[in-house]
């Protein structure tokens, strides 16, 4: 399967905002946006950053921001849109709920790790269980009522063990105890709390 292997900080600079792709580093002075601002990468980035963006360009950038925040490639992201547009519920909210229900995102939301990329690594290496069975597919869509837990091996990883405390509170729609958590329900749009404008994404795909 294809995946992005270039520096993650370039993605944040391209979108002009922090996407929090590198965990704790994003909150430190080492973050490129903290040091140099949100200049578009590349030798012509400074010139391009001052140009006027069309309506289509704004929609495209919003779609790219969502894709990159959740670590999803174009084909998969479009599949989520197709599912959402067929739903009788609010299309934008369903799209966001699908993204939030991905197993790698759930592991991140439980606070087991500090970034979605680390969560994806845990899943693909077989360190995550759903209802007691190992699942190594990061895009697996979880459902309310399911339990997600880490293997005993995973609890000893240096990037995991400090996060397995009761002080590390998960999202409101989740409940956690140690290295195991339960998905109580789907999140509301307000609980997702992202600055992504999903209405622009729907408009982009509806063109």
pLDDT (tens place) for every residue of the chain, 207 residues total: 455 555 555 555 555 565 555 555 544 555 555 555 556 555 445 555 556 788 998 999 999 999 988 999 999 999 999 999 999 999 999 999 999 999 999 999 999 999 999 999 999 999 999 999 999 999 999 999 999 999 999 999 999 999 998 677 888 999 999 999 999 999 999 999 778 999 999 999 998
Handedness of CA 71, 158, 194, 9 (dihedral sign): negative
Residue 116: what pLDDT? 92
Measured distance CA(184)–CA(197) in Å, rounded: 25
Encode pLDDT of 51-107 as tens digits.
Answer: 678 899 899 999 999 998 899 999 999 999 999 999 999 999 999 999 999 999 999
Which three-class secondary structure state does DSSP give residue 178?
coil
Sign of CA dihedral 5, 110, 75, 203: negative
What whole-number percentage of the chain has pLDDT above 90?
63
**CATH topology agreement for domains 1-51 and 99-189:** no
* Spatial CA neighbour of 156 closest among 92, 203, 200, 112: 112
What mean pLDDT, rounded, does the chain reach?
84
Confidence (pLDDT) at 44: 46
d(CA 179, CA 160): 9
- State the alpha helices, DSSP H only, in the chain: 8-15, 32-36, 45-48, 55-70, 74-86, 91-101, 103-109, 116-124, 189-192, 198-206
Cα 15 from Cα 73, distance rounded (Å): 16
Q: Domain map of the chain by residue range?
A: 1-51, 99-189
Task: State the Cα–Cα distance between residues 2 and 88, nearest whole angstrom.
Answer: 32
Name the residue among 58, 72, 92, 61 with its Cα closest to residue 21.
72
For domain 1-51, give its CATH number from 1.10.10.60, 1.10.1050.10, 3.40.50.1820, 1.20.1250.20.
1.10.1050.10
Q: Could you say which of 3.40.50.720, 3.10.290.10, 3.10.450.50, 3.20.20.70 is the CATH number of the domain covering 99-189? A: 3.10.290.10
Classify the C-alpha dihedral 65-70-71-74 as positive or negative: negative
- pTM, rounded to two decimals: 0.78
Centroid of chain to Cα 164: 20
């Amino acid at each position: 399967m294809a995946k992005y292997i270039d520096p993650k900080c370039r993605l944040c600079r391209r979108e002009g905002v922090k996407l929090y792709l590198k965990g704790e580093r994003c909150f430190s002075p080492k973050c490129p946006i903290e040091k140099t601002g949100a200049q578009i990468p590349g030798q012509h980035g400074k010139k391009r950053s001052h140009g006027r963006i069309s309506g289509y360009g704004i929609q495209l950038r919003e779609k790219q921001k969502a894709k990159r925040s959740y670590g999803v490639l174009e084909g998969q992201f479009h599949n989520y849109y197709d599912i959402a547009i067929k739903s009788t519920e609010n299309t934008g909210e369903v799209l966001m709920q699908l993204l939030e229900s991905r197993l790698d995102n759930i592991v991140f939301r439980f606070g087991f790790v500090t970034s979605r990329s680390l969560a994806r690594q845990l899943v693909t290496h077989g360190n995550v269980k759903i209802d007691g069975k190992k699942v190594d597919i990061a895009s697996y869509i979880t459902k309310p009522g399911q339990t997600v837990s880490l293997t005993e091996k995973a609890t000893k990883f240096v990037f995991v063990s400090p996060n397995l405390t009761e002080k590390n509170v998960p999202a409101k729609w989740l409940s956690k105890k140690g290295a195991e958590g339960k998905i109580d329900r789907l999140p509301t749009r307000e609980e997702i709390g992202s600055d992504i404008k999903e209405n622009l994404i729907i408009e982009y795909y509806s063109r």
